[in-house]
Structure 1
Amino acid sequence: MIQPVYPSVHHSYCYELNKDLQFAAAHYVPADSAGKCRKLHGHTYFANITVAGDTLDDAGFLVNFSELKRLIHERFDHTVLNDDKESFDDNDPNRFPTTEVVARTICELVQRHLDGLANQPRCLQVYLRETPTSYCLYRPKGGERW
């Protein structure tokens, strides 16, 4: 496998980990201006999640890689994203399942999980590739909590 290179986040944490994962999902963008994307279609999404922190847990992990995969893969793989009403809303453009909103949603889901960990790591960035030529990078503003 060729090692992809992702944009890096500048931070002062001691540890940084990145988890690559993929999931297959369908979606549509419920806006007339979305053109062909208004119709139901699917993608194999490739995501990279960046987590950082200063303290390891009792197993020596910042966060277990398998937990990051479970959070995203079990929720989104082989689904129609628009059907996930907790994450997406066909009536609110800020919650249409666009690449930008899906990247933000992944970051929020990961951070909610991290907030429950004693060592309090932070999700610094989500890189989400929707097609071979199109991707989005989401970085929460400092101090933002979900």
Structure 2
Amino acid sequence: MMQQFYPSPLHSYRFELNKDMNFSAAHFIPSEEAGKCQAVHGHTYFVNVTIGGNELDSIGFLIDFKIIKDVVHKKYDHSVLNDHPEFKDKFPTTELLAEQIWNSIQEVLDTRSNRPQCLQVIVRETPTSYVVYRPRQEELA
């Protein structure tokens, strides 16, 4: 993967971790307004996750990179996004996928004693199109 630099959220945390990863998945947007995207099609999604925190864990990690990758990759790789329960009542757009990835990662972070926070998730659907998801300030502990 070519190295990408994405917009960074403003924060005052001492540490900022960024994890890049990718996965392949299919989806469709069952609405006439979606044009060609109504049909099932696939993407190799590229994801960047930004995590911030002030405290490291007992071995010196904000969080292990592998944990972040596993949360996303094991859930979505080689799947049809429409089949996931989080998209039962909504279309799996790139915007909503980024929000769901944030939810999944923050759920894991909330169990950590050092309490890191997921500051943003970027999902690149094509080489020329990506979405940035940042939670509202009140969603960050």
After superposition, the Cα gap between the structure-2 partners of 1:25 and 1:121, relative to the gap in structure 1 and judged at 3 Å, is same
Residue 136 of structure 2 corresponds to residue 141 of structure 1 = yes
**One-letter code aligned to 1:58:** S
Q: Which runs of 5+ in 1 are unaligned?
A: none
Helix, strand or coil for the counterpart of 1:60?
Answer: coil
1:41 corresponds in structure 2 to 41
2:80 corresponds in structure 1 to 80
Shift of 1:128: 0.6
> CA–CA distance in 1 between the matches of 2:101 and 2:42?
18
**One-letter code aligned to 1:108:** N
1:116 corresponds in structure 2 to 111
> CA–CA distance in 2 between the matches of 1:52 and 1:98?
26
Shift of 1:4: 1.1
Aligned residue pair count: 140
Shift of 1:2: 3.8
**One-letter code aligned to 1:88:** F
> CA–CA distance in 1 between the matches of 2:91 and 2:60?
38
Helix, strand or coil for the counterpart of 2:82?
Answer: helix
Deviations 1:96-146 (A, max 9, x none): 10000000000010000000000110000001100011110000011216x
2:55 corresponds in structure 1 to 55
Deviations 1:42-89 (A, max 9, x none): 00000000000000001110011000000000000000000111x112
Task: From 94, 98, 102, give the equivalent of 2:93.
Answer: 98
TM-score calculated relative to the size of structure 1: 0.93
Q: Which runs of 5+ in 2 are unaligned?
A: none
**One-letter code aligned to 1:24:** S
> CA–CA distance in 2 between the matches of 1:114 and 1:30?
33
Shift of 1:3: 2.3
